[in-house]
Every structure is written in C-alpha cells, then in structure tokens.
C-alpha cells in the first residue's frame, strides 16, 4: 500500500475513534451536569448538603474530564486533517496522561463503591428519621422525593414499613407516610391501619438505581480507555507517515 493511501486510512480511523472519544466525553459532561443541577434525583439531593459535598466533587471531576476531552478531541481532529505534527504530539501526550487519570478513576470507583453505597443507605435512614421535622424544613425536597419513590414503586421505608417507627415527628405511633398507602392526600403522615400500607421495602429499587448509575459510569470509563488505546496507536503511526512538506512519494 502506498504511503499516501496508508496515511489517508489512518486519518479516517483516527477521526472515527476520535468521534467515539468525543461522544463518550460528552456523556461524562452530561452526567456531571445532571448530578450538579438535577434536583429531582435522590442521590443528588441526599449528598448535596453543607456537610456532604460528595455530589459536587463527583460532578466537578466529571465536568472537568468531559470538558478537557471535548477540547482535546478538537485538537486531534485539527491535527489529523491539517496534518500538523505539533498538534498530534500534544494530542498523543494528552491521551497518555488522560489514560493514566482514567485508570486511576476506574480503580477509585471500584474501591470506593462499597463506601459510597453504605453512605447512601445511611443517608436514606437519616431522611426517614428526620422526615417532617419542623426544624429541618429546608430538607423538604428530600422528603418529597422519598415520597415519590414510595408512591410510584408501591414500597415503604428502606427495608419495610416498620422502619418508620423510629420517626419521632409523628403525632402518634400509628401514623405512616401517606405515600406508603394508596391515599391521594397531600400530607406527610396519614392515620391508616398498618395492614393497608405497602409491605415491601424500597431497598431493591433504590439499590438497582444506584447500581445502574455506577455501571453506566464504569462502562463509559472502560470504553474511554479502550478507545484511547486505538487513538494512541493511530496517532503515533500517522505522525510517522506525515511528511513536513506534504509531498507524497510514489513508494509502496
């Protein structure tokens, strides 16, 4: 194959994988924006307090990585199309550094998953204990989301309805959140017989939601790492084939 044909093929595949890399970076960017600004998901509301900035930290990391990937993808595209060796060198160095960073993030996700999961369950238990505490009115958005989960999934408490017995903000011990029943009343608590409440706990749904989001984040990270292996290889080969004067010999 002639050098020119080989180079054109390398440029084609480099831009294809660069496009995949850009799409994955935009996914991370979107994920970060969703965590930072979406106030209707339980995870963000649970961990976005003055005492716990876990969501903010995760969001900023994802936004930073997604933004850098977007910018560097543009440099890689420009360097390959215009055949600027300097840009290709910068792009390849960036890929190597980003590969190391993403590997560290993947290891961190695997190592810290259980710790975050335990924090997640502890925070849900805290919300159940604090529910309708008049001195904590600023936390009503959390209670409303928990109500929505219980009502939509027809469940009650994290493991079952008896968990609400630990809540001391009820007027009497027989009360249960209205969202734990088929009641359409827009109140925090309702006086209903215990046998008319949803018996199943919400833990299965909450855990599935948590696991799915961790799985998505892990899958994006692994996909980025695989894509980078191709990008580093293709960039290196393209760099070697580009001629400074862009005059292509007829060698095969």
Q: Confidence class of residue 22 from pLDDT cuts 50, 70 and 90? A: very high
> Has residue 249 got a pLDDT over 70?
no
* pLDDT score, position 120: 77
Residues present in the chain in total: 252
* pLDDT score, position 3: 61
Parallel/antiparallel/unpaired status of strands 176-177 and 189-190: antiparallel
* pLDDT score, position 116: 78
Residue partners of 150: CB distance under 8 A and separation at least 6: 156, 157, 177, 179, 180, 198, 202
Q: Which of 2-11, 24-33, 116-125, 138-147 has the lowest mean pLDDT?
A: 2-11
Give the integer Cα–Cα distance in Å for 89 and 83.
Answer: 11
- The residue whose two tokens read 């799409």 is 23
Q: Would you say 177 and 169 are in contact if contact means Cβ atoms under 8 Å apart?
A: no
What share of the chain in percent tops pLDDT 90?
A: 11
Q: Confidence class of residue 184 from pLDDT cuts 50, 70 and 90? A: confident
Q: Confidence class of residue 1 from pLDDT cuts 50, 70 and 90? A: low
Residues 31-48, mean pLDDT to the nearest whole number: 70
Pure H helices in the chain:
3-37, 42-47, 54-82, 85-130, 140-153, 203-241
* pLDDT score, position 169: 78
pTM: 0.75
Q: Would you say 164 and 210 are in contact if contact means Cβ atoms under 8 Å apart?
A: no
Residues 141-155, mean pLDDT to the nearest whole number: 83
* pLDDT score, position 245: 40
Structure token digits, residue 107? 């290891």
């Amino acid at each position: 194959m002639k050098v020119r044909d080989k180079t054109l093929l390398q440029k084609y595949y480099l831009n294809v994988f660069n496009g995949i890399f850009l799409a994955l970076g935009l996914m991370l960017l979107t994920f970060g924006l969703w965590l930072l600004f979406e106030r209707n998901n339980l995870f963000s509301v649970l961990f976005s307090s003055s005492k716990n900035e876990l969501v903010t930290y995760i969001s900023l990391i994802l936004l930073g990585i997604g933004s850098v990937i977007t910018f560097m993808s543009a440099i890689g595209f420009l360097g390959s199309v215009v055949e600027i060796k300097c840009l290709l060198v910068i792009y390849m160095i960036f890929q190597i550094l980003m590969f190391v960073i993403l590997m560290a993030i993947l290891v961190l996700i695997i190592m810290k998953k259980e710790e975050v999961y335990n924090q997640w369950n502890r925070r849900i238990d805290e919300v159940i204990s604090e529910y309708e505490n008049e001195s904590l009115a600023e936390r009503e958005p959390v209670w409303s989301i928990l109500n929505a989960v219980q009502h939509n999934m027809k469940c009650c408490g994290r493991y079952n309805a008896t968990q609400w017995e630990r809540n001391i903000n009820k007027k009497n011990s027989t009360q249960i959140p209205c969202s734990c029943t088929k009641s359409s009343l827009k109140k925090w608590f309702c006086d209903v017989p215990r046998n008319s409440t949803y018996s199943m706990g919400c833990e299965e749904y909450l855990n599935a939601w948590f696991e799915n989001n961790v799985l998505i984040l892990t899958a994006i990270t692994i996909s980025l790492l695989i894509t980078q292996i191709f990008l580093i290889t293709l960039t290196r080969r393209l760099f070697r084939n580009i001629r400074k004067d862009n005059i292509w010999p007829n060698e095969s």
